[in-house]
Structure 1
Amino acid sequence: MEYCPYDLFKFVAIGDLALDESLCLFKQLCRGVEYIHNLGIAHRDLKLENVLLSEEGIVKLIDFGCATVFKAPFQKQPNKVLGIYGSDPYIAPEVFNKTVPYNAEASDNWSIGIIYLCMFMLKFPWKIADASLDKNYATFIKNWPHGRDRLFNQLPTKLDDDARPWVTGLVDLDPENRPHLKDMMEANWLKNIDICVPGKKATSHTHSFLNK
């Protein structure tokens, strides 16, 4: 097993990543999750701690203990699933309904949206997506859909404005409105982000943690 000395939570907690570094890691995360989604697998516990970084600055997803197959190769339509899995700050709101099956792919995408917000706000937007337990989330849904804009306004001004509809879409209260990662990866703002790949570093930036 490859040794990965870092996790994303550490760098977000201390705010130690430059903008280009963060974008590189976010795009790598999206590529990794898109890959498993294309296989019909949902992770269901995407969080900063489960995003490891290799000594080359390559993202590695770990902890597939909550993963589920939502679509077999022979199926045309995905299965919906039941069960509360994941870590509270990252869990999509529909997952907390114990009686209504949910789209596991869409709930993963919500978690990616939360990770994005954490990476660039350097804090969680809320502790749990349950209005009865968290006042920040209650405010978010009370002001829906303008609550998404208020969240985005807390992000660094240097971020590409074209990212707004995609990122805010990831935390859409309606799972059916959340973008698919395969579509988001084709959007210019994400496609144009220079990333590190195994054996080749990005040309636009250097990961500062590689020198520590």
Structure 2
Amino acid sequence: MNAAYNQPYYHNKAQPKPSSACLMNYPLHPDFLANYIIGEELGAGGYGFVVSARERKTGIERAVKFIYRHMVPSHSWVKDNTLGHIPMEVYILKNIRHPNIIGYVDSYQDHCFCYLVMELHGTQWTGSPDNSNFPRSPALSETSQSTCSSFLDSPIEEYLPEPPMIKRRTSCDLFECIEKHNYFQEPLAKMIFQQIASCVAYLDILGICHRDIKDENIVIDDQYQVKLIDFGAAVVLPRHYGDHTKYLMTQFHGTVSFASPEILMGRPYKAESAEIWSLGVLLYTILFGEIPFHDTKMAIAGRFAQPKVQVSPTCLNLISWMLQRSPEHRPTIHQVLMHPWFSEF
């Protein structure tokens, strides 16, 4: 857990990794091949990569996450009545439905991968597919992102010949949308954030905590409709099974610049309270185009940077409440949604 705290604090878009290249010569599941045609790479991370795929029968485009089986911890496998043993991420998406959460479509498994087929949502916000060459605003650029999960190459890449790269599609996430706009006016920021808070509240009722809320894990279209993605760090909390005692987490697999003070100090933490902190960082970023804390010392102290854009006092009140240093002083997600800011204008 403590390995994350020696990494740079800054927030920047992670550079794509050539993970999907291994699919060029990989024998995909025959049932998957019968139903889908592989398209472009959409992203990559510590547990796998995501590509687009088109349904052969309907022509509908989907997102397919290829999860390295050997990267999924033993405690993150669960038994599903119809699919057998599957990663927690697949299990959660299969069993939830919300307009602001990416929808589950199908899943497959072979000896190397779990295939998670999902709906594809969002607008491409940058003009060039080479994100490394895209000019970034100083607010979010000039920095580098850190996540607690490090990327490990799949063993199959060790013996496959060097294949041509699958073309990478430009991103549809909120990070790129913020970069495009620099920041959002308060009414639009409210509309975006309310959707995110709504799906987090839905998950909370089910006893599920996402644990990696950030702008890169939210896809957004040109109507500013958002959907939460990437449940790779999500957990089902014990209270969902009737245990209402306070449960503290000891592992962290999220993003350091969205991590709460108790996580940054390496202490056991309550997932729900840490999630509220991440939402506070996210709201600040949506409104002002930059993260609220320039380093871990600022975050641990709970002192966020003075906003450069003027917003309403009630808005600042909500941000301050979510970014309380003490987790006991932060609101619940349901208190967030009942805050007066949402009824203004």
Q: Normalization by structure 2: what TM-score?
A: 0.47
**Count, aligned residues:** 177
* Conserved 8 A contact 2:192-2:226: yes
Displacement of 1:17 after TM fit? 3.9
SS at match of 1:72: helix
Q: Following the alignment from structure 1 to structure 2, what is the Cα–Cα distance between the partners of residues 122 and 56? A: 19
Shift in CA distance, 61/114, structure 1 to aligned 2, threshold 3 Å: same
Look up the match of 2:173: 7
SS at match of 2:212: coil
1:63 to 230, 233, 256: 230
1:39 to 200, 206, 231: 206
Q: Following the alignment from structure 1 to structure 2, what is the Cα–Cα distance between the partners of residues 156 and 28? A: 22
Look up the match of 2:248: 80
Q: Following the alignment from structure 2 to structure 1, what is the Cα–Cα distance between the partners of residues 119 and 344? A: 29
Shift in CA distance, 119/93, structure 1 to aligned 2, threshold 3 Å: same
Q: For residue 119 of structure 2, what is the amino acid of its counterpart?
A: E
Q: Following the alignment from structure 2 to structure 1, what is the Cα–Cα distance between the partners of residues 278 and 340? A: 22
Look up the match of 2:6: none
Displacement of 1:73 after TM fit? 4.0
1:170 to 287, 304, 322: 322
* Conserved 8 A contact 2:183-2:286: no
* Conserved 8 A contact 2:184-2:288: no
Look up the match of 1:205: none
Shift in CA distance, 183/96, structure 1 to aligned 2, threshold 3 Å: same
SS at match of 1:66: coil
> What stretches of structure 1 of length at least 5 have no aligned partner?
132-136, 194-212
Displacement of 1:67 after TM fit? 0.8
Displacement of 1:122 after TM fit? 0.9
Shift in CA distance, 60/123, structure 1 to aligned 2, threshold 3 Å: same
1:93 to 257, 261, 272: 261
Displacement of 1:25 after TM fit? 0.5
* Conserved 8 A contact 1:112-1:170: yes
Look up the match of 2:307: 154
2:286 to 101, 119, 126: 119
Q: For residue 156 of structure 1, what is the amino acid of its counterpart?
A: V
* Conserved 8 A contact 1:91-1:107: yes
> What stretches of structure 2 of length at least 5 have no aligned partner?
1-117, 123-171
* Conserved 8 A contact 2:318-2:341: no
Q: Following the alignment from structure 2 to structure 1, what is the Cα–Cα distance between the partners of residues 223 and 245? A: 38
Task: Confirm or deny that 1:23 pairs with 2:172.
Answer: no
Q: Deviations over 1:103-151 (max 9, x none)?
A: 10000110000011111121122355x32xxxxx17x72xx6xx35xx4
* Conserved 8 A contact 2:256-2:264: no
Larger Rg computed on CA atoms: 2
Look up the match of 1:188: 340
* Conserved 8 A contact 1:184-1:190: no
Shift in CA distance, 103/2, structure 1 to aligned 2, threshold 3 Å: same
Q: Deviations over 1:33-74 (max 9, x none)?
A: 111111111111111000112465321111111111222141
Q: Deviations over 1:157-200 (max 9, x none)?
A: 2x33123332101111101110111012112211457xxxxxxx
The percent of aligned pairs where both chains have the same amino acid is: 25
Displacement of 1:97 after TM fit? 4.0
* Conserved 8 A contact 2:183-2:289: no
